[in-house]
Structure 1
Amino acid sequence: CRSMLPRRLLRFRVRRGLMVPLWLNTDNPEYVSAVERAIAFYEAHLGVEKCKIDWDEFRYEVGDDRLADGLRYALEHVYSWKPPVSLQRFKCNPSELRLKLFKLVNSELDGFAKDRISVLKRFALEHGFKDPVELEEFLWSDDPRGYLLARAMERVDVDRVVKLYNFELLDTLLSNSRMISFTSTGSLTMPKGTFVKALVREVKRLGLIYDARLEGGEVTVDVYGPVELFGRVTRFAWRLSALFDRILTVLRACKRWRVKILVRLKRRDLPCVLTSEDVPSLLMDVRQEEAVEPIFDSEVERRFYLVMSCVDKYRVEREPEPLIVGSTLLIPDYAFTRPDGVKWYVELIGFWRPEYTVKKRVKLEELRKAGFKRLILLVDEKYVEHFKGLGFPVFTYRMRGGKLDAPYGAIISLITS
């Protein structure tokens, strides 16, 4: 698993309160030359042990210490470190074999072997090695310091490394974010409603928390970053890069769009804005995605749908079209349409934080004041106190032994009455 570019290696300027990342581009001869020198350095050290490579020399060759250290993270995608011997050739791993040799020397030779070579020769033959030299090479072959530099692909070019560096830069910005806001005016091929629905679908698939609003002809979806939710960068952060990758096609189908990333740096927040006019050249989809463990239990949504869809008195729709009342925009989890055309909506709430609750309550209050009534709130019983008094029917649920305990009968009765 590759590590992420650390925040200290971010290269940016601040202009009028905005963070301006120093992206690489192939139109800048200085950047092209620096990347070429970085690639040449790696090529010259193919087959060299990691501990024997002079990284100060690498920084000198690139000419910018922070850029050089950042490029090393980009180059990890196209170069790799391989053990000096194949670990698959033998049945045990080096650490197990070292332990066996240690026990042998301590139990049979009182912790000291007078004839080291003969002991190693006997041990080597017993474990399938041809001689002590091959044995010793294998014994320490799992030490990363002795790994050899190798090319991970047939050819490494400047354009690819530039895009990988920009990806690493963006990945670190997203991972240190408090909020990521996706805004669009829509287009003929990508209306605002379709944009929101497509974005929210990916947000939910990745188990992220979001909010949405409509202002001045623009629609905005705010996605909560790890700093906002947890106060720090977490393993949850990779999902934001995955979201950006998945939604990039949707963004490009819009006439105009912008993404505002509120980045947490030390003790202050700095906004960074990407637009349809100045998005950097990126190579996305290069970091391996992990299994998604949602912030709230997606099993709740699945089980609720399975039970409610068994009733033939209405039609259930998951992720329906957004509800837009004035500037308020809400995308309920389900829509239940009766044969007479009356439609009820259900919103599941399984996550709570003070900031999230305040925004959610304001949105729900605006819907209620605008005269919207047919919305049911199904809330995790641990958080129900925070969602009372809104003027909408509130029911609670809990997971018990892998089963969803919810008042299905009461909800069905309300929808069908």
Structure 2
Amino acid sequence: MLPSELLMHRLSGEAIIPKRLKIDAENLAIASQLINCFGSARGGTQGELDRLLQELEGDSPDYRLKRGLAHLLKSACEFEVVSPLEPSLLRERVFSLSALSVPSIAQSSQTLDKLALQLSQELDREVIPAQIQDGLYADLAENKVLTNFDEPTPEELLHKYNLSQVQGVFYRASQLVLNAHRNVPGEYKLLFRYLKLFQLMAYIEGEADRGFTITIDGATSLFKPSTRYGLAIAKMIPALLHVTKWSLSATLQTRDFYTNNWKTGRFSLDSECNLVSHYPPGKPYDSMLEEAFAGRWDTLKSEWVLEREVDLVPIPGSVMIPDFRLVHPDGRSFLLEIVGYWRPEYLQKKFAQVRRAERNDLILAISERLNLEKAGVNLTDVPAKIIWFKDKLLPKAVLAVLD
């Protein structure tokens, strides 16, 4: 994402409109120029790259655009400390050795030669004096070496820039109301997973057939304006782009340029926004445990059909998405949830969801390795069929419950 100083928005009444670049020849040329600059800087230091970018920027009036694109490209770079020894240890060795003689240019050269010989013997590889000299302060940001650059296409860079400008709107979000219309259940699960990942406080209402309304409270709805929670909302937006049909409206708290007072802004967005996500789509399975179970089920000769993430179970203020559904040709069906994760907070939330769902067609497969008692979980009032397993969940154990 972009820092606040590189965001470009304009106001239309209370509505905030972020800057978005056209994917045209002019902007593609600027993107290509910057990408080539980073590509040519491989093997050089970050300081050398910054000087190249400064020359490229020059006195151009669109310097903020170029700085924004360069900022995004830096996130695709790996800068490493290149030194024969950890720089702080190397400095200690050099200073200790040089303190034994009177400082001079000739003596400095002898010190480097002597230490290079010592390190060559200690490390069992050749170390030359120039490597020591370069490595002395290799841990400073400007001296770190660009070792890898995950080069995007110009189109990908412009798309990421447009998305970052939109994400920046949410830095000051005080509330967001998201309507996720009827979608594939797996898309919902990806969205809810990112809500949990970024620790967003969300209240969820609705059902799979009609869609869900998700209310998210942001930073400024807490005790005082802060970008911490707004950043989490912004990080969630690329995940939302993987959902087929949705719309959102956000209430923002922004500073007045002239009075420095807080004022309310509005922003809306929907699935027709033409933004492109750089987040990967959802994985077929959440864990190796689920994937292994599905693979073993495929080898069975059973009338029961295993389906992946096809049902959403609405519960007050939230939603539960079981891992599998098992369907029989005679019309019977059961939901299967595999509980193999050990964190107490997760277990408490999971079993609270099961109780609130009040489903009589739910099967819980629980790992024997979990210490439910320590997590404060009591199974006596859980309205579900329970299967215990050790290292792997066997289909035969599930079939025994089904039959």
TM class, shorter-length? 0.5 to 0.7
After superposition, what is the alpha-carbon deviation per residue over 1:254-302, rounded to whole angstroms, capped at 9, x for unaligned? 3xx212233443333422221122242343359xxxxxxxxxxx95544
C-alpha displacement of 1:64: 0.2
- The equivalent residue for 2:268 is 273
User: Structure 1: 5+ residue runs without aligned partners?
Assistant: 287-297, 310-315, 319-333, 342-401
- The equivalent residue for 1:58 is 56
Aligned mate of 2:86, from 67, 82, 93: 93
Mapped partners of 1:113, 1:149: distance in 2: 31
Mapped partners of 1:44, 1:301: distance in 2: 48
- Counterparts of residues 395-414 of structure 1 (less than 5 Å): 403=374
Any idea what SS the aligned residue of 1:115 has? Answer: helix
1:134 aligns with 2:131: yes
After superposition, what is the alpha-carbon deviation per residue over 1:112-149, rounded to whole angstroms, capped at 9, x for unaligned? 89722222222221122544223212223333223455
1:231 aligns with 2:232: no
1:260 aligns with 2:257: no
Is contact 2:101-2:107 (8 Å) kept? no
- The equivalent residue for 2:123 is none
Any idea what SS the aligned residue of 1:268 has? Answer: strand
- The equivalent residue for 2:292 is none
- Counterparts of residues 59-78 of structure 1 (less than 5 Å): 59-60=57-58, 63-78=61-76
Change (3 A) 1:50 1:104: same
Is contact 2:43-2:145 (8 Å) kept? yes
- The equivalent residue for 1:105 is 98
Is contact 2:173-2:253 (8 Å) kept? yes
**% same residue:** 18
- The equivalent residue for 1:283 is 278
* Count of aligned positions: 297
C-alpha displacement of 1:93: 0.6
- TM-score norm. by structure 1 comes to 0.57
- The equivalent residue for 1:123 is 115
Is contact 1:77-1:152 (8 Å) kept? no
- The equivalent residue for 2:401 is none
Mapped partners of 1:42, 1:102: distance in 2: 35
- TM-score norm. by structure 2 comes to 0.59
Mapped partners of 1:258, 1:48: distance in 2: 45
Is contact 1:174-1:263 (8 Å) kept? yes
1:5 aligns with 2:21: no
Is contact 1:167-1:284 (8 Å) kept? no
Change (3 A) 1:317 1:115: closer
Letter aligned with residue 109 of structure 2:
I
- The equivalent residue for 2:201 is 209
C-alpha displacement of 1:12: 1.7
- The equivalent residue for 1:25 is 22
Mapped partners of 2:157, 2:163: distance in 1: 10
Any idea what SS the aligned residue of 2:242 has? Answer: helix
Letter aligned with residue 16 of structure 1:
G
Is contact 2:187-2:242 (8 Å) kept? no
C-alpha displacement of 1:68: 1.3
Mapped partners of 1:57, 1:67: distance in 2: 15
Letter aligned with residue 116 of structure 1:
S
C-alpha displacement of 1:159: 0.7
Any idea what SS the aligned residue of 1:222 has? Answer: strand
Change (3 A) 1:412 1:233: same
Change (3 A) 1:244 1:156: closer
Change (3 A) 1:95 1:171: farther
1:304 aligns with 2:351: no
Letter aligned with residue 254 of structure 2:
L
1:144 aligns with 2:137: no
- The equivalent residue for 1:337 is 358
The RMSD of aligned alpha carbons is 4.2
Any idea what SS the aligned residue of 1:142 has? Answer: coil
- The equivalent residue for 1:376 is none
Is contact 2:247-2:271 (8 Å) kept? yes
Is contact 2:190-2:239 (8 Å) kept? no
Is contact 1:73-1:168 (8 Å) kept? no
